[in-house]
Chain A
Amino acid sequence: MHVPRFEKIWIGLGLATMAAFFITLVTLAVASGLNPPSTDGMTIDPTKVSQTPPFDKPGLHQSGPHTYEAYYVGQIFQWNPQQITVPAGSTVKFFVTSVDVVHGFSIPDADVNVEVMPGWVSEVDHTFKEPGNYLIVCNQYCGAGHAGMFASVKVTP
């Protein structure tokens, strides 16, 4: 089997590039905590969401001076709560689950993007620095009314 010298250089450069990418991703993950949402083992009975605290009362709860916890329930074809309001500079920790099929919880302007599965609780947080109205969409097909499944986060100055 003959591998030309130029091919060895070419493949070497390719592998080195991928290694650099991988090291960058690992460094960012370890040093800056840049990980995708990956909650371990947080499960919930999808048939009993409305009786299981804290999802029996979906909504916003303040947990510190600038921190909030928001509990969301996805159910065809809406998010509950429909709107939450927080002041700029707040960090909101979102806990999201579904009572029926798979949904996707996405705030495009806030880099919030997570799959929501019945039986599981997805967790993701974000600090809202700029005031404004942030659109929340469902970005995983959930049925006939999928395109109408949205909500919002209102960030006041």
Chain B
Amino acid sequence: MTVRENRLVLAHIWVALGALFVGTAFGLMQVYSRAGAHVTEFFDYYRLLTAHGVLLAIVFTTFFICAIATYATYSTQPRENRSLGIGWTAWSIMLFGTVMAAFEILAGNATVLYTFYAPLKASPWFYIGATLLVAGSWVVMVDILVQNGAFKKANPGKKVPLPAFISAVTFVMWFIATLGVASEMLLLIPWAFGWVSGVDVHLTRILFWYFGHPLVYFWIMGAYIVWYTVIPEILEIPVWSDSLTRLTFLLLLVLSCPIGVHHQLMDPGISPVWKMLQVGLTLTVVLPSLMTAFALFATFEAYAAKQGKTGFAGVVGALPWTNPAFAGIALSMILFIFGGFGGLVNASYSMDILVHNTMWVVGHFHITVGGPVALTFISVSYLMIPKLTGRKLMTPRMAMAQVVGYFTGMSIMSIGMHVEGLLGAPRRTATLEYGSSPLAATWESWAILAAIGGTIIFANIILYAFCLLGSAGITAKGETKFGFAQGADPEESPWWLNRIDLWAVACIVMVLIAYSGPMWQHFHEGTIYLAPGARTW
């Protein structure tokens, strides 16, 4: 990596972290508001909830994944005088879109939450800003594919290095998925400008969730790149299996897009048969998930074996728990186990009635994207940022306290939210009073527990900023070891594990099958009425 290349990766990281710091602060106000502290007199709950969702779930994650993928691609395919034009173009478009959308949200012109369900009518500039953020990330995909193409040309017969390959798979999946939200924008933008009088509400929801679920896998795949290639690098061993890692990512590519309807199980207008089909397809994610769990334990075992340790206790005891980057990532994996269990409930068709749109769902995504993904990114930043700035993490113990604290806070908050949801508390409400209803009274103590967890997380993010200042800002220079590991057997895997195009076609075919029913139903049953929409905030 050259200094010029480092700057591009750092630019993505700084935007991501800016979004993280601001978004988390807003989250703090939300948990207090729901716990009964009358803070809504001082701020607009739903406006900041929109900002919280967009900044953390979209801006933080997308920029950070762009940083990781770009870093993985560049560092494993070193080139003299690489052109960074595409990379900087992508970053600039993304940042421009982000600023535009963020401005509209904070100005109160787009209090539509991060799902922006029509016909809540936001300012057209919010939709355009969000579209530019997505379009900019497509340019990142182009950059990765161009780099990988150049590598293949320069090294005939050789496979693209594993970290660059899985980064490319992640972004091809993202591209196929975001075509959904881009199409939705084509309906929303003319309507928001007033050029057309109404919008097809149901169609926008289908398009949104066609994108909305793979969005979740995009976050996870970003974290998986770290789990599969950075963990072995920290442990100083090769990736456990080159071919099974490629297969895991390719399976995620195929299985990510044809399942969005499981977010619409409680929607009218989609028949039970098609809902059930997509529920079945959703459950197949067990395949790449269990392959990942196996690969990670195999990696830990190989590391312990090098030190002559065997058995469960021996392996766990041998791991470098005092390294904050390793410990944070390992803790994030523990959260993901519970996140996966909860996800099974949400996707389980009739069982979703119990939890749909309740606080349970919020608890769920805080121990998936908020836990495994965010904690993985935070932990890996303790290596990436010092490495990119030519410095050294000055406060490893403080960083250790930070990742453990974040894990603790997120666990507590998530437990509170899950129980609140099981007791029936709706998500996305500023208060839980409901005319002093006895049912609503049962939610209060769990909302307070969630607020305690939220407070710990907020304190941790401040601590995180201090740790970074210590290593990236003002302290002395030093050496940090960081990189992306590769497999010991890179030439062994079969040819069909190196053809993203074939798997992308398989993904599109699956999408066409899974969505043929819902789309046919939408356009051929009943009359489609367009809703004029309103600004209800």
Contacts and interface: CB of A to CB of B under 8 A. Distances in A.
Interface string B391-428: 00000000000000000000000000000000111111
B516 interface: no
Contact of B349 (A29, A39, A43): A29
A41 interface: yes
A119 B530 contact: yes
Given A1-B494, A38-B275, A139 B426 contact: yes
B113 to A, nearest CB: 5
A38 B464 CA distance: 46
Interface string B260-291: 00001111111110011001100110110111
A122 B266 CA distance: 9
Nearest to B435: A150
Interface string B53-90: 00000000000000000000000000000000000000
B536 interface: yes
Given A10-B290, A119-B531, A114 B268 contact: yes
B434 A137 contact: yes
A43 B529 contact: yes
Nearest to A1: B243
Contacts of B357: 104, 106, 113, 115, 139-140
Categorize the interface residue count of chain A.
35 or more
Contacts of B213: none
Nearest to B521: A40
Interface residues of B, number: 82
Q: Is the interface of A mostly helix, strand, loop or mixed?
A: mixed
Contacts of A21: 283, 344, 348
A129 B316 CA distance: 52
Contacts of A17: 286
Contacts of B427: 139
A25 B286 contact: no
B526 to A, nearest CB: 3
Nearest to B527: A43
Contact of B266 (A43, A100, A115): A115
Contacts of A26: 276
A3 B244 CA distance: 8
B356 A1 contact: no
A131 interface: no
Q: Which of the listed residues B427, B428, B525 has the most CB atoms from chain A within 10 Å of its own CB?
A: B428
A146 B49 CA distance: 13
Interface string B215-258: 00000000000000000000000000101100100000000000
A41 B244 contact: no
A54 interface: no
B268 A42 contact: yes
B434 A135 contact: yes
Contacts of A38: 267-272, 275
B508 interface: no
B433 interface: yes
Contacts of A113: 266, 353-354, 356-357
A17 B437 CA distance: 40
A76 interface: yes
A64 to B, nearest CB: 24
Given A22-B280, A25-B276, A118 B531 contact: yes
Nearest to B47: A144
Interface stretch (A44-52, A55-63, A65-73, A85-93): A44-52
Interface in B312-337: none
Contact of B119 (A109, A118, A139): A118
A135 B268 contact: no
Interface string B341-361: 000100011111110111000
Given A10-B290, A101-B119, A114 B429 contact: no
Given A35-B350, A118-B119, 15 more contacts: A2-B492, A11-B290, A25-B279, A29-B272, A38-B270, A102-B118, A106-B426, A111-B353, A113-B353, A115-B264, A115-B267, A117-B531, A119-B202, A119-B530, A150-B435
Closest 7 CB pairs of A and B: A108-B424, A143-B536, A41-B525, A41-B526, A139-B426, A43-B526, A139-B357
23 contacts: A7-B291, A18-B284, A22-B280, A28-B350, A36-B265, A36-B266, A36-B275, A38-B275, A40-B269, A40-B271, A43-B527, A100-B533, A101-B536, A106-B357, A111-B353, A117-B201, A117-B269, A137-B429, A137-B434, A141-B120, A143-B46, A144-B111, A144-B537
Interface of A: 1-4, 6-7, 10-11, 14-15, 17-18, 21-22, 25-26, 28-29, 34-47, 76, 100-102, 104, 106, 108-109, 111, 113-115, 117-123, 133, 135, 137-144, 146-147, 150
